Structure 1
Amino acid sequence: MNAPLQLKVNPENLVHSLKWSFTNRTTYLGELMQNARRAGASYVAFDYCADTNTLTVTDDGCGIDSLETLLTVAESGWDVELIAKEHAFGVGFLSALFACRHLGLSSKGGCFSVDTDHILGFQPVEVLPVTDWNGLTEIRLIDIVNGPLENTLADLATGFPIPVHFNGVSLPRPNAIDSIGAAEFVASPVGAIRLINLIDSYRHYRDCLVYLQGLPVYRGHYYRIGDTRYLGNIVHLDSAQFMARLPDRDKLVDEADVIKLIREAIAAAVERQLMALKTALSADDFLTYYPVLRECGLIHLLNDVDRLPKALVSRIQRPPVCDTDLFGDFLEMVDQPITQSAVKSGQVQLVTIDDDLQSDGALRYLLAWKKGWVLVDNQFDAGHWVQPYLRHLSREEVQCEILEESHRAQFQGIWVWVTAVFCRAYRIRIGDDSVEIDEHGAYTGNEQDDIVLIPCQEKWGDVLEQVSRFCENDDDYQGSCHDQDVEQFSHFIVANTADDPADALKRLMPDLRGCKVLHGTQFVVEIDPEGQLASVTLTNHPSGAVEAGS
């Protein structure tokens, strides 16, 4: 019968393998900072000598009683309460052994100076007594591994609870709970949170820089290493609830789940702050926080505010276009706040339009424009007071009556092909509301045979901007095609609306001032039945009539 098996550990192989488990070569810096803090130090100092490539770390904490415990893997030496609260496992000091060729240490429990290979080879280390301890623990690392020493320390110090010095200079700690802004931190279920200035930096409200035991363990999108002006939320996690991943401890265990909890806590803190602001501020001032309310999912706080955010209401100032980035915005912000009383009394008609111009056409927008209705981006909560007064035009049937149609013609441009209906005017009707338009063209949508209505006063070709974005499938804007089609369509309108052929030709002629050979000449121009130029005859040539090309 085989003997029972049990787990065994090869200590030497394990320790040497741990060297490659540390992701960052500078992990030891944070570990030495933590040891100083746990020892109750009032500061921790790092002094680097480039000539000898030596880093000396000093703190004024309680000191190390047992150097044997310090050199015992998985034996932290801290008291039971601290181990339970901070999950001190006793592997961090290994990072210092891997970070240098020679290590010297002096503290309450004695001193030694030895090559790190000697320690890692499980060889005995001679410890000399310290008879007159000066209250300082000093660790000297000789021949340290290369790494961004100063920048790393500056990053680690930003939220650390005790001062951190580098070569005699105190490093900035703008995010530390014991810093000048400590009063700005508020308690939450995950730990202490300092919110950004909501009115200035709302775009980053979800972003956060997270510390655990004073060291950064999660950096938001907008954070840059060493950035002391970071504008995101600052979070110091409760170390009794959350753990960092061994051995580097610069990443959270179950990070995605923890960040979700953090963001929920931030949103709750934002809501409490906004509720207080709502009580203290006027309605107009509170509405300046609309971007934060939207981003935080707190739009319901506007339900009983008696006016609407300017960001959600606008007026149509000109015929619509299907791409405002390319062709300019056809909406303008309202001058005065839209109040609940003005809406309820009927002084202001609020509408929403969800039409896509390229498929649904521009008729509803044109009706709302001519009626002077206020267009609402309905991002309001379902319980907001505005909902019963909001007319959803896209849910209502739109009708269009062509008045005194003269003829139809096919326009075939480089990019856009449409049927143009020439008429005196057209009438748009939705329910009991109607408007007659005779000066602006209208696209009726691709479900209506790609028809463009051209009333008698329409003179330009920019109605095509209701029809197409002039973009390839990959959103590559074809600007030259746009310009040529719009110019050609304006000529097309002239040719189809001029009072007589001579007037049409005159309006279609380009500016010829730069062509002096034509000055003072007379021509007979013949256009064939297909609309093509058949011939041009010069009638006032000294030798008589001359046809083009002779």
Structure 2
Amino acid sequence: MRTISLKTNQHRLIANLRHAFTPRSMLGELLQNARRAKAKRIDVTVDGDTLTVSDNGCGIADLQTLIFIAESGWDEPTKSRENAFGLGVLSTLYFARTLSVHSGEQAFAAETAAIINGDDITVHAKPPRIGTQIRLSGVQSPDPAKRLRVWVAKELQRLCKAFPVPVFCNGAEIARPFADKTLPWRKTKMGKVLIDLKASPHQWRAFLQGLPIGVKESYNDHGWHQTVLLPDGTLAKLPDRQHLLNEEQDKRRIQAAVNTAYREVLMEAKASLSPEAFITQHARHCLDSRNADLLNDVPFASLNWFRDWDDEPAGFRHDWNRCYRDGLVSRKEIEARGVWRMAASDDERDTFAAQVYLQAAQAFVLEEERLAHGHWLHDAAKTVELPRIQVRHGAIRHRSHAVGLEDAVELVLVDSLHVGMQGLPEYVVDAIRHHDVLYLTTQANAPTQLVSDYIFNEAYEEAAEDNDADRIRTFIAIACEDSPAKVLTALLPYSLRYAGQSKLANAKVQLRFDNEGKLIWVD
């Protein structure tokens, strides 16, 4: 009978682990070792291609543990609490030519290739020092565009944001904004959470044992985010510990913890602020974070929840015209004046007459869709019933189907124009689109927003809107004139009216039109 057992090709295994580490993970592991040694300060220096990390921790009792794969030299409480596995210094061997270590009264120096090969390394006595110094020579910057010194400094800035031990790079202290214990951290099931209401609760960064952990997060342009310090015992994926072992599950748990903490901060703000201040400062935060129910009993509303008739008059709308509106309005005023919401319609143009009416009335039109069920605005808002809109006009002065606008509407110039809603006051207006007719008065100027959005092939065509504006103004000018000469003047293009034409200098031209007003002869 023959037996077999698990065997390991040690040299090939160690050689292939090269692909499991990166220079980033190497630098993080060196910092982590110093922290576990209870260092009070870590100094990183870069001189050419030599990287040195020195600390004032407890030192290494047996240098063999430093290059003992999968055998951590830390005490049992540390191994149990932080899942220390004994792969840290291994990561340095793949990115340097030589490794030198001096801890306490012992030291060694060797080619990294010899260490990987398993050669015997001589440990020799050296004058005692406090803590440990690890020196790597022959290190190359992973970014060809940056010198090693620059790359290390920038990487330390990323790594040390929540690192609990002061770190210096070539004598300059690295900022550690989230290492401040006086910050208002909140204890959760997933560690401590620091909330920044300027950021969405879905924009967060996680740190494990002081170093960033690679859970996928989202960021905003300002760099605002929530900060999560995970429990030390959270499992990281070996060997480089750059990602959580149970990433998808832990990500959901982290998100739940952040959501809870975010809501707590909003509730505390609501309890400490006046209703006006809470709406002003935190209405957007509540809506963006699905905490809109916190607004339900606040007797104020943000003006931003309603249509701004100054920036977006009745008609087609463009996103780039929308601006955040500052200011509040009280529930008492809204209920006294009334608040409306537009009825749903398959064709937005069918709502234009109602929009003109509401604009003329300067009515509150609720457009914020994220308000929670139970908010008092839902009960106060009345839906505009489109058939109730009534358009009344005076004598028709001129009408035309053949103006050539981007949307096929008939233009009708009238002496006066009113719009109303059954049972409610009517208002004088300058222009209104009712179905496919655009009624205008002489004060209407060029309400192109009632004609088209001028979006063609997903691009806004400003020239098309300008052309329509000219056509509408020309139509009004023609309608207001009785003299054929003045009508013709209104029809002349800009190039004939205002730009010099040398070949027409001092010319007199006669035109003849038929009984339908069509040009038949020029002399």
TM-score (norm 1): 0.82
Structure 1 residues 67 and 498, CA gap change in structure 2 (3 angstroms): same
CA-CA distance at 1:94 after TM superposition = 0.5
User: Pairwise mapping of residues 440-455 of structure 1 onto structure 2 (< 5 A)?
Assistant: 440-444=430-434, 448=435, 451-455=436-440
Quick one: which amino acid aligns to residue 34 of structure 2?
Answer: A
CA-CA distance at 1:74 after TM superposition = 0.8
- Aligned mates of 1:60, 1:342 — CA distance in 2: 67
- Number of equivalences: 506
Match of 1:31? 29
Q: Among residues 118, 122, 127, which one is paired with 1:126 in the alignment?
A: 122
CA-CA distance at 1:500 after TM superposition = 6.2
Q: Deviations over 1:460-498 (max 9, x none)?
A: 3x333222121212x222222221122122222333454
Check whether the contact 1:205–1:292 (CA below 8 A) recurs between aligned residues.
Answer: no
> Structure 1: any 5+ residue segments left out of the alignment?
537-547
Q: Deviations over 1:135-161 (max 9, x none)?
A: 322222222233422222232222211
Match of 1:543? none
Check whether the contact 1:411–1:418 (CA below 8 A) recurs between aligned residues.
Answer: no
Match of 1:390? 381
Match of 2:464? 481
Structure 1 residues 433 and 129, CA gap change in structure 2 (3 angstroms): same
Quick one: which amino acid aligns to residue 331 of structure 2?
Answer: Q
CA-CA distance at 1:190 after TM superposition = 1.3
Match of 2:317? 323
Match of 1:539? none
CA-CA distance at 1:14 after TM superposition = 0.4
Quick one: which amino acid aligns to residue 439 of structure 2?
Answer: I
CA-CA distance at 1:455 after TM superposition = 4.1
SS at 1:136 equivalent: strand
Q: Among residues 60, 64, 79, which one is paired with 1:64 in the alignment?
A: 60
SS at 1:134 equivalent: strand
- Aligned mates of 2:182, 2:191 — CA distance in 1: 13
1:143 aligns with 2:143: no
Check whether the contact 1:83–1:89 (CA below 8 A) recurs between aligned residues.
Answer: yes
Quick one: which amino acid aligns to residue 353 of structure 1?
Answer: M
- Aligned mates of 2:291, 2:351 — CA distance in 1: 34
Match of 2:424? 433
Check whether the contact 2:24–2:155 (CA below 8 A) recurs between aligned residues.
Answer: yes
User: Pairwise mapping of residues 355-504 of structure 1 onto structure 2 (< 5 A)?
Assistant: 358-379=348-369, 380-393=371-384, 397-401=387-391, 403=393, 406=396, 409-413=400-404, 415-425=406-416, 428-433=419-424, 435=426, 437=428, 439-444=429-434, 448=435, 451-457=436-442, 459-460=444-445, 462-473=446-457, 475-496=458-479, 498=481, 504=487
Structure 1 residues 139 and 433, CA gap change in structure 2 (3 angstroms): same
Check whether the contact 1:76–1:88 (CA below 8 A) recurs between aligned residues.
Answer: yes
| Identity over aligned pairs, percent | 26
Structure 1 residues 486 and 514, CA gap change in structure 2 (3 angstroms): closer
Quick one: which amino acid aligns to residue 31 of structure 1?
Answer: E
TM-score (norm 2): 0.86
User: Pairwise mapping of residues 490-529 of structure 1 onto structure 2 (< 5 A)?
Assistant: 490-496=473-479, 498=481, 504-505=487-488, 507-508=490-491, 512=497, 525-529=511-515
Query: What is the aligned-residue RMSD (CA, Å)?
Result: 3.3
CA-CA distance at 1:454 after TM superposition = 1.7
Check whether the contact 2:351–2:386 (CA below 8 A) recurs between aligned residues.
Answer: no
- Aligned mates of 1:195, 1:204 — CA distance in 2: 10
- Aligned mates of 1:396, 1:508 — CA distance in 2: 37
Check whether the contact 1:397–1:431 (CA below 8 A) recurs between aligned residues.
Answer: no
Q: Deviations over 1:430-468 (max 9, x none)?
A: 44235254x522223xxx4xx1232444543x3332221
- Aligned mates of 1:351, 1:254 — CA distance in 2: 49
Structure 1 residues 333 and 520, CA gap change in structure 2 (3 angstroms): farther
Structure 1 residues 122 and 382, CA gap change in structure 2 (3 angstroms): same
CA-CA distance at 1:303 after TM superposition = 1.1
SS at 1:184 equivalent: coil
Structure 1 residues 516 and 206, CA gap change in structure 2 (3 angstroms): closer
CA-CA distance at 1:16 after TM superposition = 0.5
User: Pairwise mapping of residues 164-203 of structure 1 onto structure 2 (< 5 A)?
Assistant: 164-176=167-179, 179=180, 182-196=182-196, 198=197, 202-203=198-199
